[in-house]
Amino acid sequence: MTFLATIGAFFLAFFAQSGRLSVFVGQTLAAMLRPPIYFRIIGQQIIRIGYFSLPVVALTSFFTGGALAIQIYYGGNQFNSEAIVSSIVALGITRELGPVLGGLMVAGRVSAAIAAEIGTMRVTEQIDALTTLSTNPHKYLVAPRVIAATICMPVLALVADIIGIFGGFVVGTQSFGFNAAIYVQRTINFLTVDDVTSGLIKAAVFGFIIAMMGCYNGYYSKGGAQGVGRATTNAVVSASILILAANYLMTALLFSA
Amino acid sequence: MTAKIALTDVHKSFGTKDVLRGVNLQVETGQSLVVIGGSGSGKSVMLKSILGLLTPDRGSIKIDGRETIGLARRGRADIDHQVGMLFQNGALFDSLPVWKNVAFRAIQNDGMGESDARDLAVDALKRVELGPELLDLSPAALSGGMHKRVGLARAIASKPEIIFFDEPTTGLDPIMTDVINHLIRNCVQELGSTTVTITHDMTSVRAIADKTALLYKGEIIWQGTTEELEGSDDPFLNQFINGLAHGPIEVEGQKLDTAPNTIEAV
């Protein structure tokens, strides 16, 4: 009976959490579409989420591009097909690794920061204060962060694409002696616009997920400093899992057609 | 005459814990009501229910005769415009300087420009006896007393008809407590606002209350004027205002006996 009760409690908690998240997303979408829209706060968040994430995304994608080139070179070597390094690096970075790894890195940095900030506002009654000052917290706090992250992530993914391909280029030309001009030419010839845009669409969805998980976990945090810490951890974990799940679904959707 | 604020049979539970169990209370226009009660008696839940931050399970809360429970967001916004609130810890926005905190409502809701907003902040700070040198400071740079006074300035900046104070003197030294009590009294008299204060500080009660209500276990068990408070022989009230460990009031998690305040020999 205790075992069944535990299972029941788990499912009840799961459905309650899912329902609360759905309502939160609905309220946020409504806040994003209806005025007032706080453009100044959106601008500030674009700087915080996008601009300050550039170094971490650039470094991650550079090293990933380089490592990918090494793996493909030695893997392809067994079949005398080293020449595919440039094409596979470009494909792998633009379709998958650029948006996904960029998304995961930004989730770690931004989702945690948003959850900590909004969580602290919750436990210090600043969110209640916003409401009593006739300001909708969804419009003032949540919508600007979600809009900013959804705008920034495709730009960051594009930067990740360029730098990741460049990382592969550096390793290919410096370590394996590929001709630079031929490497670039093969990359350009193989890559299609769809490869890049599919990654950018994914990145926009990841940006929405990252900000939403940060805001949601922060907004419902409780229990003082410990609660804020828990919200921060939950924000990063839930954003990371949802990014990977959404990536699978979108890949299946975009490339099965 | 319609009461400014009227609570009728207000109930609120969290899980199996009944916090408010039929609160009935009326506040007349221009009156200063102080709600006293021990920790966990439901004071903050009652205040948050009036403010619309929590939704009661049943009952009625009317402001100016208008039912507020179940009110749509737009209707609630009309009421929020008449209300100011001083939170227990000030609840100033850390990301904004003092002047933007004080003039927050005017900037966000009325689209007030920077120059006018700064003037508004200077005027509100002056009412709480603070100078313009604080305008550009971050809330993190303020002392506890200043924090409370800036919070008070924000609460009165829009000259609200109703002001709520949540334990305004908690954590302050006796001198600062007296300063805050006088500022509250002066501001309220100048603005002619109706106020509801929740506290367990009897100094504040005597300084600012026209009427006092004692909340115990989610119900108002006594209410009356400050004069009636001093002369009352209600055992619950006497135990609370005299700070006695023994009496009819149960301390959270522990039932104390109802014997007089004596230490029994073991």
Tens-place pLDDT, residues B11-68: 999 988 888 998 899 998 888 899 988 888 888 899 999 998 899 999 999 998 889 8
Q: Are B17 and B42 members of one domain?
A: yes
Other Cβ atoms within 10 Å of A193 Cβ, number: 7
- The CATH number given to whatever domain includes residue B16 is 3.40.50.300
Inter-chain CB proximity A126 and B93 less than 8 Å: yes
Q: What angle do CA B125, B130, B136 make, to 5 degrees?
A: 75
- Residue B222 covered by a domain: yes
Best to test chain A binding among B51, B87, B156, B163 (most A CBs inside 10 Å): B87
Of the listed ranges A15-24, B135-144, B171-180, B207-216, the least confidently predicted one is B171-180
Phi-psi region of A153 (alpha: psi -120 to 50; beta: other; left: phi over 0): alpha
Whose tokens are 């470094």? That residue is A59
Whose tokens are 């360029």? That residue is A162
- Which tokens in the block code for residue B45? 């839940």
- Residue B264 covered by a domain: no
Inter-chain CB proximity A135 and B52 less than 8 Å: no
Whose tokens are 């200077």? That residue is B122
- Residue B265 covered by a domain: no
The CB-side HSE value for A15 (13 A sphere, CA atoms) comes to 5
Name the residue facing A135 among B51, B85, B108 (closest C-beta): B108
CB A255 within 8 A of CB A199: no
Q: Are B94 and B77 members of one domain?
A: no
The Cα of B45 is separated from the nearest Cα of chain A by a number of Å equal to 13
Q: Are B44 and B108 members of one domain?
A: no
Best to test chain B binding among A38, A121, A134, A136 (most B CBs inside 10 Å): A134
Q: What angle do CA B187, B193, B195 make, to 5 degrees?
A: 90
pLDDT in tens, B137-167: 999 999 888 888 899 899 988 888 899 999 8
Q: Could you tell me the pTM of the whole model?
A: 0.84
Q: Are B1 and B74 members of one domain?
A: yes
Crossing angle for the helix pair B114-127 and B174-191, to the nearest 10 degrees: 120
Inter-chain CB proximity A132 and B48 less than 8 Å: no
Which residue in chain B has the smallest CA separation from A37?
B108
Which residue in chain B has the smallest CA separation from A40?
B108
- Which tokens in the block code for residue B28? 């007349």
Which residues of chain B make contact with A136, given a CB cutoff of 8 A? 73
Of the listed ranges A104-118, B50-64, B65-79, B132-146, the least confidently predicted one is B65-79
pLDDT in tens, B103-131: 999 998 888 888 999 999 999 998 888 88
Burial of A226 from C-beta contacts in 10 A (0-12 / 13-18 / 19+) = exposed
Q: Are B76 and B6 members of one domain?
A: yes
The DSSP bridge pattern shows strands B58-63 and B162-166 to be: unpaired
Name the residue facing A128 among B53, B77, B108 (closest C-beta): B53
Find, among A36, A23, A48, the residue nearest to A148 by Cα: A48
The DSSP bridge pattern shows strands B17-27 and B5-14 to be: antiparallel
- Amino acid B266: pLDDT: 34
The Cα of A85 is separated from the nearest Cα of chain B by a number of Å equal to 48
Q: Are B74 and B102 members of one domain?
A: no
Q: Are B116 and B192 members of one domain?
A: no
Q: Are B74 and B26 members of one domain?
A: yes
Give me chain B's average pLDDT, please.
Answer: 84
Residues in chain A: 257
- Amino acid B254: pLDDT: 55
Best to test chain B binding among A38, A123, A132, A145 (most B CBs inside 10 Å): A132
User: Could you check whether the bond before residue B248 is cis, i.e. omega within 30 degrees of 0?
Assistant: no
CB B59 within 8 A of CB B108: no
Which residues of chain B make contact with A134, given a CB cutoff of 8 A? 77, 80-81, 105, 108-109
CB A88 within 8 A of CB A71: no
Find, among A72, A117, A82, the residue nearest to A211 by Cα: A117
Domain extents in chain A: 38-256
**For residue A102, is pLDDT > 50?**
yes
The Cα of B213 is separated from the nearest Cα of chain A by a number of Å equal to 24
pLDDT in tens, A140-149: 999 999 999 9
Name the residue facing A125 among B73, B84, B91 (closest C-beta): B91
Q: Are B186 and B63 members of one domain?
A: yes
The CA distances from residue A238 to A11, A50, A158, A230, in Å, are 17, 20, 24, 12
**For residue B262, is pLDDT > 70?**
no
Confidence of residue A1 (pLDDT cuts 50, 70, 90): low
Q: Are B111 and B137 members of one domain?
A: yes
Q: Are B187 and B115 members of one domain?
A: no
- Residue B252 covered by a domain: no
Inter-chain CB proximity A135 and B85 less than 8 Å: no
State how many domains chain B has: 2
Where b means 16+ CB within 10 Å and e means fewer, B235-254 reads: ebbebbbeeeebbebeeeee
Q: Are B7 and B61 members of one domain?
A: yes
Amino acid identity, residue A234? N
The Cα of B4 is separated from the nearest Cα of chain A by a number of Å equal to 18
Task: Give the residue, B214 or B262, on which the prediction is more confident.
Answer: B214
- Amino acid B170: pLDDT: 81
3-state SS of B105-118 is HHHHHHCCCHHHHH
Instruction: Please name the helix (run of DSSP H) or strand (run of DSSP E) that holds residue A131, with its range, or none.
Output: helix A126-132
**For residue A113, is pLDDT > 60?**
yes
Range of the domain at B148: 88-159
Confidence of residue B258 (pLDDT cuts 50, 70, 90): very low
Find, among A249, A163, A246, A255, the residue nearest to A210 by Cα: A246
- Residue B130 covered by a domain: yes
**For residue B259, is pLDDT > 60?**
no
Which residues of chain A make contact with B80, given a CB cutoff of 8 A? 131-134
